[in-house]
Amino acid sequence: MKFDNTYFRDLSGLYAPYDAAVAPDPKLIKFNHALADELGLDVANLDLASIFSGALKPDGADTLAQAYAGHQFGGFSPQLGDGRALLLGEIITPDNKRIDIQLKGSGRTPFSRSGDGKAGLGPVLREYLVAEAMHALGVPTTRALAAVTTGERVQRETAQTGAVLTRTAASHIRVGTFQFFAARGETEKLKQLADYTINRHYPDAINVENPYLELLKSAANAQAYLIAKWIGLGFIHGVMNTDNVTLSGETIDYGPCAFMDHYDANAVFSSIDTQGRYAYANQPLIARWNLARLAESLIPLINTDQDIAITQATEIIETFSALYETHWLTEMRRKFGFEITQDDDADLFDTFFETMNDNMVDFTLAFRALADLADGNATPLRDLYLTPSATDAWIKRFEIRITNEPNAAQNIRAANPIYIPRNHLIEAALKAAQTDGDYAQFEQLLAIITNPFSEQPGKEVYAKPPLMVDPSYKTFCGT
């Protein structure tokens, strides 16, 4: 692995150099060879279990824990940071992208507070599955490179097999990274971080009149695009705290996340989100709120006159809803198979979701059934409704709308997945791995959800919602 560690070299004072704990008996559970190839990593002669447990530091790595703060469920924590993660360093891919490689679960760091710095096998496999599914679904995301068990037990609600996830990311810079230095009034470090972020993610901002405003604009655009993608898939992140919001616009930190089965605008799965702050339909609003925290952090850089800076930053935050709406419309037109635009499209989409409310309609299957509808067969869609007639008026509207859309059916099939990582499938795979050390289900599920758009004969059960809906289903951080 050829590292080129700019965060380490250029940003001293913004992190703590630190070494991983030495795992007593590291075993490689899964390695993502396809991703390694994309990254240009030559791993043929490497001891992958030792390296990706943290026990063996590869040549050229400069392990460090990044400092960051964050608003968690609305309350500010001035010091979070990598409490159970270490950046190994950055590599440059064959297509010239700079990518972070990070260990998660590799032991305590100066930011661990009362935590043990470790991760359990369940959450590691969950992040592996969901991150790789998201990538296959075309959503910007961190990715999973390796999963290793450490040979230790970690104590959570129950004792779990200890594990380390290696993930890759365009970077691990978060809104909370800016908040950390802004809250401490460390404007020089804040500027260093902002300049670094601009260079790494938004180099076009260097040449505009106000690069820091442009950084805010670019981050807002990336978030608006990302959240539209989540909404289009029925994905609920679950813990959209500002420390889990990247400047790159990649989804990060798959903890208590979930894809909904039946459509429910208020869906919440996270065991810790008792108020529904991060409910499905709230995510665009929360993204705006999080960007407002980024805007606040950038004030000292935007203008020496604070009032001017606030006015300028506020203008950008106020455009977020319109920006999101634009990305949402684009994403929905893609999902509904439309190639031309019509003024009442937004209303057509909204009405579709309204008909689904209270009808226990499977979100993912509904979009696949739209393709049949476009082919002239309304039965698959109607059959998804508790009260099929609830969708009849909408079906007529759709049929009229697609008279000018000859490719609708084919477009819908290309844009909408058959297979998503459904909660009950993930739980079954995790349980087999955790209780029996049996990874066959994990492997099978991973293979299916990383090829989400094509029919896989014999795998029909993976496309279906659970037979029984568990209304109390919760996902846990538990890392």
Positions marked catalytic: 243
CB of 215 to ligand AMP, least distance (A): 23
Phi and psi torsions of 453, nearest 5°: -100, -15
Pick the closest to residue 160 from 108, 128, 127, 125 (CA basis). Answer: 125
271 binds ligand AMP (CB under 6 A): no
Question: Do 97 and 124 contact (CB within 8 A), yes or no?
Answer: no
77 binds Mg ion (CB under 5 A): no
**Residues from 190 through 249 that contact Mg ion (CB under 5 A):** 244
Stretch that binds ligand AMP, among 46-54, 107-115, 230-238, 297-305 (CB under 6 A): 107-115
Stretch that binds ligand AMP, among 140-148, 239-247, 277-285, 409-417 (CB under 6 A): 239-247
Token pair of 91 as six digits: 């590599």
Within 8 A by CB and 6+ apart from 276, the residues are 266, 268, 282
CB of 102 to ligand AMP, least distance (A): 11
Q: How far apart are CA 465 and CA 445, in angstroms?
A: 14
24 binds ligand AMP (CB under 6 A): no
CB of 111 to ligand AMP, least distance (A): 6
Which residue number, 116 or 375, has a Cβ lying nearer to ligand AMP? 116
Backbone angle region of 54, left / alpha / beta, with phi > 0 → left and psi within -120 to 50 → alpha: left
The option from ligand AMP, Mg ion, none interacting with 195 (CB < 5 to 8 A, set by class) reads none
Q: How many helices (H) and strands (E) does the chain have?
A: 17, 12
Stretch that binds ligand AMP, among 5-13, 82-90, 160-168, 327-335 (CB under 6 A): 82-90
The option from Mg ion, ligand AMP, none interacting with 127 (CB < 5 to 8 A, set by class) reads none
CB of 226 to Mg ion, least distance (A): 16
Which residue number, 180 or 349, has a Cβ lying nearer to ligand AMP? 180
Question: Do 382 and 366 contact (CB within 8 A), yes or no?
Answer: no
Stretch that binds ligand AMP, among 80-88, 164-172, 376-384, 461-469 (CB under 6 A): 80-88
CB of 243 to Mg ion, least distance (A): 5
Q: How far apart are CA 395 and CA 409, in angstroms?
A: 14
Bridge partners of 90, per DSSP, are 100
Out of 100, 152, 253, 296, point to the residue binding ligand AMP (CB under 6 A). Answer: 253
126 binds ligand AMP (CB under 6 A): no
Which residue number, 71 or 135, has a Cβ lying nearer to ligand AMP? 71
Q: For ligand AMP, how many residues bind (rule: CB under 6 A)?
A: 18
Q: How far apart are CA 350 and CA 355, in angstroms?
A: 9
Neighbours of 274 (CB within 10 A): 9
Pick the closest to residue 190 from 300, 273, 290, 277 (CA basis). Answer: 300
Which residue number, 111 or 280, has a Cβ lying nearer to ligand AMP? 111
CB of 181 to ligand AMP, least distance (A): 16
Compute the CA torsion angle 370, 372, 377, 380 (nearest 10 deg): -70
255 binds ligand AMP (CB under 6 A): yes
Orientation angle between helical segments 345-356 and 392-401, nearest 10 degrees: 150
Within 8 A by CB and 6+ apart from 197, the residues are 171, 173, 215, 247
**Residues from 6 through 45 that contact Mg ion (CB under 5 A):** none
Within 8 A by CB and 6+ apart from 79, the residues are 67, 69, 111, 180
The option from ligand AMP, Mg ion, none interacting with 83 (CB < 5 to 8 A, set by class) reads ligand AMP
14 binds ligand AMP (CB under 6 A): no
Stretch that binds ligand AMP, among 238-246, 371-379, 409-417, 451-459 (CB under 6 A): 238-246
Kindly provide the residue ranges of all beta strands, DSSP E only, lying in 193-328, ordered along the sequence: 235-236, 258-259
Q: How far apart are CA 173 and CA 114, in angstroms?
A: 23
Question: Do 166 and 145 contact (CB within 8 A), yes or no?
Answer: yes
Question: Do 391 and 369 contact (CB within 8 A), yes or no?
Answer: no
CB of 92 to Mg ion, least distance (A): 26
Out of 54, 83, 211, 465, point to the residue binding ligand AMP (CB under 6 A). Answer: 83
121 binds ligand AMP (CB under 6 A): no
Which residue number, 115 or 203, has a Cβ lying nearer to ligand AMP? 115
78 binds ligand AMP (CB under 6 A): no
DSSP 440: H
110 binds ligand AMP (CB under 6 A): no
CB of 141 to Mg ion, least distance (A): 14
Question: Do 386 and 359 contact (CB within 8 A), yes or no?
Answer: yes
User: Which residues would be at the binding site for ligand AMP (CB under 6 A)?
Assistant: 80-84, 111-112, 115-118, 239, 243-244, 253, 255, 477, 479
User: Which residues would be at the binding site for Mg ion (CB under 5 A)?
Assistant: 244, 253
